[in-house]
Structure 1
Amino acid sequence: MNIASVRRPIIPPTPPRAPDNLSFFGRLAVIRQNMIATWGQRAYEEEIIQGRFFLHKSFILNQPDAIRHVLLSNYENYKRTPAGIRMLRPVLGEGLLLAEGHAWTHQRRTLAPAFTPRATANLVPHMTAVLDETIAKLDARADELIDLREIMQHMTLEIAGRTMFSFGMDRHGPTLRNFVREYAERLGRAYFLDMVLPVSWPTPMDRARARFRTRWTEFVAMLIAERRAAGKKDGAPPRDLFDLMDEARDPETGKGFSDEQLVDEVATMILAGHETTATALFWALYLLALDPDTQEEVASETRGEHLDSMADIDRQKFTRAVIDETMRLYPPAFLVARAARAKDNVAGAEVSKGDIIMIAPWLLHRHEKLWDQPNAFIPKRFMSKEPPDRFAYLPFGAGPRVCVGAPFAQAESVLALARLIGAFRVELVDTDPVIPYGVVTTQPDHSPMFRITRR
C-alpha cells in the first residue's frame, strides 16, 4: 500500500469556534473581525439551525437537498440581503454578480459565450506567458525569504490584465491593488446599520462607499479606454476577454452592453478573477508546504509535461484534486446570504417573507455529517469514483447563478500550481499558524514567509 495513503493527513489551523450560546451583540462584534469565527460547534453538526435576525427568522442550511431548493429549484424566491448588496455594489455595480431578474438573465446570456471551454482555451497562452515570467523572477530569488501571497496577487492580476485587455498591469497594478486593499480593510466590512437598514436608507459607510465607487469606476473606464485605443484589426478573431465582452450580444434580444454596463462587467471579472484565484493559490501553496509528501506527488505528476494547453491542464488530475481540496477547506466565498421574497418551505422549515437564509461553504465543506475527516487536507477524496454531492461542495456556487467564470478560474489555478510546484520546492519558514478569516473572501490573517528552491 502506498505510504501516502496510510500516513496521517495534516489538519491546518482554524479560528477557535464560538460558544454556541454567544449573544446576538457578541456575534455582531465578532462578525466585523472574522465572520467564520462566529459559528459554534452546532453549526458543524446540525443540518438546519434556526435563529433570529431582528424581526425575522434566520436559517443556516447544511443539508444538500435544502440548498438545492434555495439555489436551484426556487432560486427566484431568494434575493441578496441589504448587507450583501452594500458590501458588493460599490466595487461590482450592477454587474452579473449582483444583477437580478431580467437584467441578470440578459447579462448571463450575453456573457456565457465568453467563458466556454473553447474561449478559455484561447486565453491559455496569456496565462502561460505570465507564468513563464513569474517563474523566471522566482528563480532569481531562490533560497531567499519570499511572500508568496503577494507574489500570487501580482501574478493573477497580471493574468487578469492580459486575458482581459491583452496588456500588462505594470503601470496600473499598484493602483488596482490599492483599491482592493482600501475596500477590504474598511469599506468591505459589515457594520451594524448595514445589516439592519433597507438598502434605500443610506448608512454613514454608504456615503464613503459611494465616494469610493466614483473613483473606482473612473479607473476601470480608463482601462477600457486604453484598451479601445489599442484597437483591433478588422476581421481578426477576438484576442482577449474584452473583445469577447464588447462584441457579445444577447442571443434572444441582440443587445450588447452599454458603456456603463461594460464597466461593471469588467470590474466584476477583474476583481472576482484575480483576487479569488490569488487567494486559492496562496492556500494551496501553504497546504503543500505543510504537507511535503503531497507536494512531491504534484511535482511528480507535472514532470515531463509541457503545460501550455487545455489538454495538458486536463491531464493534471491530482493537481486538480489539490485545488478542489484547497477550495473545500478555504472556500473563497465563505458565505452566501439570501432574503426570502415570499413564503416558502425548506426541508420542513417554514420560511416567511424577509427571513434570512445562510448557506456557508465554510461550514458546509467542514460539516461532520457530509465529510470524512472534514478538517483534514486529503486531496484524493476528489479522485474517488463517488464525487461529493453537488450541493455539499460550493466553491463557485450552484444553480443558475453558479459562477460563469468557474472554468477559467479552475484552468488558471491548476495550470499555475502545476507549473510552480513543477519548478520549485516550497518550504514554509514562518512558524506562526496562519489563521483564515472571512471579510470579503477567506483570507489569511498574515502573510507568512516561504523559501523556494529549484527542483
Structure 2
Amino acid sequence: MNIASVRRPIIPPTPPRAPDNLSLFGRLAVIRQNMIATWGQRAYEEEIIQGRFFLHKSFILNQPDAIRHVLLSNYENYTRTPAGIRMLRPVLGEGLLLAEGHAWTFQRRTLAPAFTPRATANLVPHMTAVLDETIAKLDARTSAPIDLREVMQRMTLEIAGRTMFSFGMDRHGPTLRNFIMEYGERLGRAYFLDMVLPVSWPTPMDRARARFRTRWTEFVAMLIAERRAAGKKDGAPPRDLFDLMDEARDPETGKGFSDEQLVDEVATMILAGHETTATALFWALYLLALDPETQEEVASETRDQHLDSIADIDRQKFTRAVIDESMRLYPPAFLIARAARDKDNVAGAAVSKGDIIMIAPWLLHRHEKLWDQPNAFIPKRFMSKEQPDRFAYLPFGAGPRVCIGAPFAQAESVLALARLIGAFRVELVEADPVIPYGVVTTQPDHSPMFRITPR
C-alpha cells in the first residue's frame, strides 16, 4: 500500500528488535517481560518463519493467504495453546473467547443479537453520559499534569458497567481494577512450566490462578445478583447488555445461558471490552500528542458536531482512521497463538499435530512487504481507496472467531476520541519515550503525564 504524505510522518518509539539468532531459552527469558521484544528483523521481512518450540515446530505467519487458511478456511483444526488457555481461563472461564466446538457455536449464536449495530446504537446514550461526566471532571483538572491512561481505564470501565448493568461502577470499580492489576502483574504472565506442560498437568501458578478464579467469579456473580435485584419491567425493551444476554436464546434450540455460563460471559465482555478499548484510546492520545497537526485535524472534524448517535459517529471518517492507525501500530491483542489439532499444509509448509502457529498483529501490522512506511503514524492510509488485505490487518482477529464486540468497541473508541480531542488540546509533559510491551495486551512501559488545555 503506497501512501503519499505531504509532511514527514512521526515514527513512535518501539522496543529494540531481538537478534535473529536468539536462543530458545534466551527467548523464553524475554517473553515474560515483553513478548514483542522477542522478534528479530526477519520477522518483519519474511512471510513465514519456521522454528522449533521444544518437541514441536513453530510457524510465524505474515502471509495473508496463509492466515486466511488458519483463521477461516480450516479454523476448526486450530485451537488455543496450553499457555494461552492457562493465561485466560482463570478470568474468562468457559466464556465465548475460550469456548471450543459445540459450546462455542451455541454461545456465538446466542450472543450475536446482543452485538448487532442496532443493539450497539441503543447503548450509545450510556457512552455519551459517561463521556459528559469524564469531560466535566477533566475540565476541572486542566491546571496540573494528568495520567490519561488511568482516566481512560476508569472511563471505559464505567462505560462497561453502565452498558452491561445500567449502574455506575463507583462502588465496584476499585475492586474490579484491583482484580485486573493483581492478575496482570503476576498470574497473567507465562512461566516456563506454563508453556511446556499439558493443560491437564497443574503448574504451581495454576494453583494460584485457581484461588484467584474463586474470588473473581464470586465478585462477578455478586454484580449479576445486584443487577437482577434492580429488575426489569415486564414487556419493557432491553435497557442494557445484561438484559440482552439474560434473555438471549439459541435460535436453533431455544436454550439460554445457565447462571454459571452467564458469569463467564459477563466477565468476558467486561474485561475484553474495557481493557482493550482503554489501551487503544491511550495509544491514540499518545500518538496525537506526538503529532499536533493530526490532532488538530481530529478537532476540526468534530467541531460543531453533537456526537450522540451512531450516525454522528459514522460521520467521523478521519477520527476513525486515527483509531484504525493507532490499532495498527499498537494492536491491543498483539499475538494470536494456535496449536494444530491434526496435520495440515499451510502455504506449502507441513504442519504436524501439536505444532504452534503464531499470527502476531504486532508483526503483521508492521511488515515491510505489506505496508508502506510500516512504522510511521499515517492515519490517512485508512482513507485511501487502496485498503489492506483483510488478513493483513487484524485488530479484532478474523474468521468465524472474529471479536463479536468489534462494532461496539469501534463506536466507543471513535466517539470517545472525537469528544475528548474536541474538548481539549493534549500535550505530553515529559520527553521520555513510551515503549510498548506485550504481556496480556500491548501496554505502555510507563504511564506518561499529559497536559490538557480546553479548546
Q: TM-score range by the shorter chain?
A: over 0.9
SS of residue matched to 1:143: coil
Q: Aligned partners of 2:86 and 2:216: how far apart in 1? A: 15
Q: Aligned partners of 1:385 and 1:299: how far apart in 2? A: 24
SS of residue matched to 1:358: strand
Q: Aligned partners of 1:3 and 1:323: how far apart in 2? A: 17
Q: Aligned partners of 1:181 and 1:22: how far apart in 2? A: 31
SS of residue matched to 1:4: coil
Q: Kindly state the Cα deviation for residue 156 of structure 1 after the two structures are TM-superposed.
A: 0.2
Q: Aligned partners of 2:57 and 2:138: how far apart in 1? A: 51
SS of residue matched to 1:370: coil
CA contact (8 A) 2:3 2:372 kept: no
Mind listing any 5+ residue stretches in structure 1 that lack a counterpart? Answer: none
CA contact (8 A) 1:46 1:62 kept: yes
CA contact (8 A) 1:27 1:38 kept: yes
CA contact (8 A) 2:333 2:361 kept: yes
Q: Aligned partners of 1:83 and 1:67: how far apart in 2? A: 21
Q: Aligned partners of 2:65 and 2:354: how far apart in 1? A: 21
Shifted more, 162-171 versus 424-433: the winner is: 424-433
Residues 340-384 of structure 1, C-alpha deviation per residue, up to 9 Å, x if partnerless? 001100000000000000000000000000000000000000001
CA contact (8 A) 1:318 1:380 kept: yes
SS of residue matched to 1:150: helix
CA contact (8 A) 1:336 1:360 kept: yes
CA contact (8 A) 2:32 2:189 kept: yes
SS of residue matched to 2:5: helix
SS of residue matched to 2:326: helix
Residues 388-418 of structure 1, C-alpha deviation per residue, up to 9 Å, x if partnerless? 1000000000000000000000000000000
Residues 101-149 of structure 1, C-alpha deviation per residue, up to 9 Å, x if partnerless? 0000000000000000000000000000000000000000113100000
Q: Kindly state the Cα deviation for residue 94 of structure 1 after the two structures are TM-superposed.
A: 0.1
1:208–1:119 distance in 2 versus 1, CA, 3 Å: same
1:3–1:61 distance in 2 versus 1, CA, 3 Å: closer
Q: Aligned partners of 2:24 and 2:109: how far apart in 1? A: 41
Q: Kindly state the Cα deviation for residue 3 of structure 1 after the two structures are TM-superposed.
A: 14
CA contact (8 A) 2:2 2:372 kept: no
Q: Aligned partners of 2:403 and 2:72: how far apart in 1? A: 14
1:50–1:137 distance in 2 versus 1, CA, 3 Å: same
Q: Kindly state the Cα deviation for residue 386 of structure 1 after the two structures are TM-superposed.
A: 1.6
Q: Aligned partners of 1:250 and 1:110: how far apart in 2? A: 4
CA contact (8 A) 1:152 1:282 kept: yes
SS of residue matched to 1:3: coil
Q: Aligned partners of 2:372 and 2:207: how far apart in 1? A: 46
CA contact (8 A) 1:92 1:267 kept: yes
Q: Aligned partners of 2:129 and 2:430: how far apart in 1? A: 30
Residues 277-325 of structure 1, C-alpha deviation per residue, up to 9 Å, x if partnerless? 0000000000000000000000000001000000000000000000000
Residues 410-451 of structure 1, C-alpha deviation per residue, up to 9 Å, x if partnerless? 000000000000000000112110000000000000000000
1:76–1:429 distance in 2 versus 1, CA, 3 Å: same
Aligned residue number for residue 9 of structure 2: 9
Q: Kindly state the Cα deviation for residue 4 of structure 1 after the two structures are TM-superposed.
A: 10
Residues 10-32 of structure 1, C-alpha deviation per residue, up to 9 Å, x if partnerless? 00000000000001100000000
Q: Aligned partners of 1:354 and 1:174: how far apart in 2? A: 41
Percent identity of equivalent pairs: 95
Aligned residue number for residue 314 of structure 2: 314
Q: Aligned partners of 1:132 and 1:84: how far apart in 2? A: 38
Q: Kindly state the Cα deviation for residue 92 of structure 1 after the two structures are TM-superposed.
A: 0.2
Q: Aligned partners of 2:169 and 2:15: how far apart in 1? A: 35
SS of residue matched to 1:368: coil
Q: Aligned partners of 2:26 and 2:235: how far apart in 1? A: 61
SS of residue matched to 1:377: coil
1:18-417 → structure 2 map (5 Å cutoff): 18-417=18-417
SS of residue matched to 2:453: strand
CA contact (8 A) 2:95 2:265 kept: yes
1:357–1:132 distance in 2 versus 1, CA, 3 Å: same
Q: Aligned partners of 1:385 and 1:336: how far apart in 2? A: 28
How many corresponding residue pairs? Answer: 455
CA contact (8 A) 1:220 1:263 kept: yes
4+ residue stretches of structure 1 with deviation over 6 A? 1-4
Q: Aligned partners of 1:418 and 1:2: how far apart in 2? A: 27
Q: Kindly state the Cα deviation for residue 5 of structure 1 after the two structures are TM-superposed.
A: 3.8
1:225–1:25 distance in 2 versus 1, CA, 3 Å: same
CA contact (8 A) 1:4 1:293 kept: no
SS of residue matched to 2:4: helix
CA contact (8 A) 1:303 1:422 kept: yes
Q: Kindly state the Cα deviation for residue 387 of structure 1 after the two structures are TM-superposed.
A: 1.1
Q: Kindly state the Cα deviation for residue 6 of structure 1 after the two structures are TM-superposed.
A: 1.1
Residues 186-236 of structure 1, C-alpha deviation per residue, up to 9 Å, x if partnerless? 000000000000000000000000000000000000000000000001100
Q: Aligned partners of 2:3 and 2:194: how far apart in 1? A: 51
Q: Aligned partners of 1:317 and 1:252: how far apart in 2? A: 38
Shifted more, 137-146 versus 158-167: the winner is: 137-146
CA contact (8 A) 2:3 2:381 kept: no
Mind listing any 5+ residue stretches in structure 2 that lack a counterpart? Answer: none
CA contact (8 A) 2:93 2:264 kept: yes
